[in-house]
Amino acid sequence: MSEPHSNEPDRIDELLGSLQESRTAQHASEALKPSPPPHSHRNRVWIVIVVALGIIAAAAFLYLRGREASLNIRSFPSGARVLLDEREVGTTPLVLERVPPGSHTIELQLSGWEVWKGTTTAVKGKTTQVIANMTHAAYTMVVTSTPSGATVTIDGIARGTTPLTITGLKPRNYKVIVSLKGYADITRSVDLSDQAQTTQHFSLLKSYGELNITSDPAGAQVLLDGKAYGTTPLKLDSFPVGTYALTLKLDGSPDITDTISVAAGTVLSKQYKFTTLAGGLSISTDPAGASITIDGQPTNQISPFTFTGLKEGVHEVLLELPGYLPWSGEATVSHDQTGRLSIALTKLQQ
């Protein structure tokens, strides 16, 4: 019985020894593990700092962007130079960012178009739309000719005589005709969108035509632009081309007026018929039976007699009766009226 009792302390010592060895081995294994490098901690710190700075920068950008404005500028047509507050910033269409909020002046310039000017208000954090409908610029055409004084017609409308400056035109094609009496017309198409065509000079050449004028009855005086050229029938060879005011005059008839145009290398023939204004004249004498002569032509009539169809105007009347003094004088005939002439003849003394 004593042996078991005597062996118990040894058993306890053995267990305690085993426990000590186990602890020692554990510490030894932990000592063999690699320790983390000292700089890995610093890297993590820098990453945190960089992320924080990025967040701060983004917030600052969004904050500053919210305090700025932008402009969207468009023009019709496009391609115009844009001046913002008198400083060129580009051409349309144009989006301008980071524009200070507030009022700004805008000027658009494009060749061939009038300068567009306006003002706009840039609003913080918003995009303001600016739309400009531009207007064609007014063009000027200068027309000269040799010789000067020629009539200038543009698209069928007479604008004046050379030398002539015409303003307020658009950049397009125009039909220009330059004409001068005695010279051949010149027709030309002018494109004002081409700056080189804004000044036009025309060298005119003399030109002639023929003119034949007849009238019924003949013998009428012919006047062209107030100048007498003869009486009908009238033929004028090599007459200067142009447009003339024609007047025909014939005693006892109203004047005939017309506008005629003589063209180069052609014959212009004109025929005119006068309307005779007539009236009547009743002639009586005391004593009766006197022969009547009017305008030097015997009428084969004796007084009393009423004449009809006499030309309007003044006529010379001669009355003759044997044994009496001849009587001569004037009588006036009016249109559609019958005048009266009563004459007491003077007897010859025996």
Tell me the per-residue pLDDT of 217-233, one tens digit each, with 9 for 90 and over: 999 999 999 999 999 99
Q: How many C-beta atoms surround the C-beta of residue 150 within 10 A?
A: 25
User: For residue 300, is it left (φ>0), alpha (ψ between -120 and 50) or beta?
Assistant: left
Residue 293: phi and psi, rounded to 5, are -120, 130
The rounded radius of gyration (Å) of the Cα atoms in the chain is: 59
Tell me the per-residue pLDDT of 3-57, one tens digit each, with 9 for 90 and over: 334 444 454 455 445 545 555 555 445 545 555 555 566 677 677 777 777 776 6
Distance (Å, whole) CA 345 – CA 319: 9
Provide the whole-model pTM: 0.50
Name, in order, each residue with C-beta under 8 angstroms of 134's C-beta and a sequence gap of 6 or more: 75, 76, 77, 80, 108, 110, 113, 114, 116
Q: What average pLDDT does this structure show over 92-97?
A: 95
Distance (Å, whole) CA 300 – CA 159: 63
Q: List the domains of the chain with CATH numbers.
A: 66-133 (2.60.40.10), 139-203 (2.60.40.1120), 208-273 (2.60.40.10), 278-344 (2.60.40.10)
Tell me the per-residue pLDDT of 150-169, one tens digit each, with 9 for 90 and over: 999 999 999 999 999 999 88
